[in-house]
Amino acid sequence: MMCAASRAVALPASLRRQACCAAFRAETVPGVPAGERPRGGRQFRVARRQPRHAGAQFGKARVAGKQRMHLFTLIEKAVQRPLGRHFGGPAGEVDGEAWGRARVQTQEYRRARLRQPRLVHGKPSQTIHRAARDQRLVAPQWQHPCARMRPGRRQSRRIAAHMCGAIEARAAEGQRGGQAQRAGGRSRKVGHAARRMAQARAHCKPRADPARSRARCAARCPAKAAPDAAHAPGGMARAQHKRPICQNFFNPWLPLGGLLPIMRHAVPSRRANDVTDPADSAPADPATPATLRLRILCTTDLHAHVWPHDYQTDRPTKGRGLAALATLITAARAEAGQDRTLLVDCGDILQGTALGDWAALQSTARINTTDDPAAPGPVHPMIRAMNHLRYDAAALGNHDLNYGLDPMTAAFAGADFPVLCANLVADLGATPPEDTPIVPPWCILDRQVPDTQGCAQPLRIGLIGTAPPQSAVWDAAVLRGRVAARDAAQAVRAHLPALRAAGCDLVIALSHAGIGSARPAPMEEDTSLAVARIDGIDVVLAGHSHRRLPGPDFHGTPGVDAAAGRLAGKPAAMAGAFGSDLGVLDLALAARPGGGWRLAAADVSLRPVKDTAADPAVLDLTAPAHRATRGQMGRIVGHSRTRLHSVFALTGRAPALALLAEAQAAHARRLVTGTALDGLPLLSAAAPFKHGGPTGPDGFVDIPAGQLRHRHMVELSPFPNQLCVLAVTGADLRAWLERAASAYCTVPRGARDATLIDPAAAAYTFDEIHGLTYTLDLSRPPLHDAQTGRALTAAQPPASGALAEDGAGWTGMDGTDEPQADRSPRAGRVTALYHAGRAIADTDKFAVATNSYRASGGGGYGMIPKGTPRIHSREPLLDLLLRHVAGAGEIAADGPAPHRFAPLGATALLRTAPQVTLDDHGDPDRKLAPLGLDGDGYGVFRLFL
């Protein structure tokens, strides 16, 4: 009797594309013991009718009837084995020995049609022999394009063994072809296929006994044993996996043409940020210990950027925002699996855009009018979005305190995740664990994480948060003594034993701080590197400084591996700012001998947002707040006769800063009336908050003449600071200006096209004091570090690299030697300091209007005396600016610049906004020449010094 497979071969040509079933009896396979012969045999699905010739095809004219040529048989024998040994044997084969143990698939997993084998949706695990024909056994996401079978065509190419997925085997009874098999019918093809499978055993030896692997996994995870049994009735097991054999590659009989079929089907390499391993889907090897794979996703310094929208210019933006980050977060979670993913943030969540200001205003109004301020109110839009994304934890940032303690507490009360900080507390105790916290110092997350053998393992993760201790001082005007601070590294070191005693396998530090130095001074602002050096900390996630790690931002910094993302040898990341990047840390955890897990390996990377589309769900959640914010920002508040810009702020002329200084001085006069500061000469200090930096070429204030809207004033004063008036001396003023002058690089006399602005300097640290006139000599070295503001000595160059040092002394940017300078306080860059045409003496007294952040020493201005008389305004500075503009009629802020540069006979390059023209923005001194755009999109001007 002819079997089903033979009848399928004899079908007419019009029906040859239909699938057929070949019935096999175990007795036909040589080498299978009688005791292992399955009852009724096994039935294997065949993709298409097998061609008679599986070698190279020359076409019907050359190979009549597609008969196998003897030459091709010889080539196949000579080529197949050495190539197979070099590229590795198949990961697993269904050969004669494995028929009795092949996995049986249940009916619901079978395809209705038999023209193709079942595809396994996952990584390849079990395979057929590499010489098997007309099989498409690889999962779709791993299949090479060249290996795809097109409808209506035969596929004669061979599929690489390690690309193949599992072939489906099922019992023959009750299935198509079963009657023919029981009747003893055989096919000519059956014998050929059996011989091919028997030949495969000669060079593929089993690596491990699958029964032992399954028993080991069942002992560790009994819950997973039942599903396997359900899929394998009759004691069937998975096909055996084979050990790759790498030998005899340089066989003298190897024809070069034999490489082509294998190279066409080479498996594409995995991406570096893919933590999944092909071994994850393979049967467990009892000789290989299980490991855990954990992916940590981190964000930082979101600053209320949820929509990809710039409220100050009222236009959409790209490359920022939590809504766009949500798309990356979803994709990264899908790659690793929800059970293997942790999502955290490193602080500065609530403040930074007009949306954050609007939410804080609503919260403050509710707190001031309700009888129960502690009652829950509307959820903050940023917190609503983070709840939707299922954040696991976050650190407290210094800007989260900008609106005061009560608005911060109300905002985080709606969070479904803990907000942590160990060193900002309500009251200091004898030791950090005895402090009274304002938020929890640390938390523990218990997870069930699948190991590489598929068994869920308990993993205990500890997280601890820190923030700059200066936060209690920077926002003292609104905190009113309700927050105290400790050194960040000291607090982590004191709380760490409690985390380890609780059985944490992994401890992660959420450090809202810059990198800093390995041994910082007490109460230092940037302490991430110091925290990383603490024994017991496994991972450090940093923020605050709006930079990127890994990346070139920290190249050459001691203790930092900027390329690999390491601080003191430990995995670390800093994910930019405003939602620009997603930090991805892929950790491998190995089992400890005494139980638990330890960090064994890590891969750190950043995924930039760039043109990523925003997540519609996040946009929908925050749409009401977005619309309300835009409506508020669009209100007309005044009119300006001149263009208000900051594009030339660091060269001396900035009408936008002149308006801000004018508004501060106007309110300060009323504030000091009748106080000890009344009668002192009044000055006003202002800095450009927008001047490139992390926001790029578009990050400049440039307001056309005409109507002034609410959003324009937010550009001038984007932070919720208050006005503060200080009493200072002439010596204090000089030190203040020396700190501001450190934003410039040293320009040697006669230099050509030197860099003007130190790239390490933040523009908001450059104060110009209106009411004074002074000259800056850029040929002299700075007295302060441009980034941190710390004082420099004669033997200590700036950390930013504005100066180079050799054995003889200071060196200019072009390598020319400069005379050794006297490092006394009077030998800095500030010269010819005058007020009202009179030189200022060190003992002269003045009143200076500035913002509360600068008055508290923020931005590296620690030289401002903290015990001097000062007066604070309870109103935000933005409200004072809005009131000034509304009552001034028509604004004409076009006064002279307070500073100029000493003549050096040199030129320097200034980078500014790309749309700048001298006709629109002015150059009354005729010291600028446009040079076009640079590679980053900035407009470049040559400054004649």
For every residue of 704-756, DSSP letters joined together read -SEEEEHHHHHHH--S--EEEEEEEEHHHHHHHHHHHHTTBPP--TT-SSEE-
**Cα of 334 vs its chain's centroid, Å:** 16
First to last CA, the chain: 102
Sites in the chain below the pLDDT cut of 50: 1-68, 83-194, 196-214, 217, 219-220, 222-284, 286-287, 795, 800-826
- The whole-angstrom separation of Cα 493 and Cα 442 is 12
CA neighbor of 724 nearest in space, from 850, 874, 587, 617:
850
- The whole-angstrom separation of Cα 142 and Cα 162 is 10
Q: Could you please state the CATH topology (level 3) that the domain comprising 635-944 is classified under.
A: 5'-nucleotidase;  domain 2 (3.90.780)
Tokens of 587: 């950790």
Residue 905 CA neighbour count, 13 Å, CB half: 2
Where do runs of H (alpha helix) occur along 800-902? Answer: 852-855, 877-887
Q: Determine if the pTM surpasses 0.85.
A: no
DSSP letter assigned to residue 595: S
- The whole-angstrom separation of Cα 690 and Cα 646 is 8
Give pLDDT, residue 71: 60
785, 742 Cβ separation under 8 angstroms: yes
Looking up tokens 């049986």, which residue turns up? 104
Q: 925-930 — which CB contacts under 8 Å span 24+ positions?
A: 925/652, 927/651, 928/648, 928/651
Domain boundaries along the sequence of the chain: 4-264, 289-629, 635-944
Give pLDDT, residue 670: 92
* Residue 315: strand pairing partners: 310
Give pLDDT, residue 408: 95
Q: Are strands 636-640 and 706-709 parallel, antiparallel or unpaired?
A: antiparallel
- Within 10 angstroms of residue 636's Cβ, the number of other Cβ atoms is 11
* Residue 910: strand pairing partners: 941
Give pLDDT, residue 681: 95
Residue count of the chain = 945
- The whole-angstrom separation of Cα 932 and Cα 914 is 8
137, 122 Cβ separation under 8 angstroms: no
Report the top-level CATH class of 289-629. Answer: alpha beta
Give pLDDT, residue 725: 94
Give pLDDT, residue 267: 37
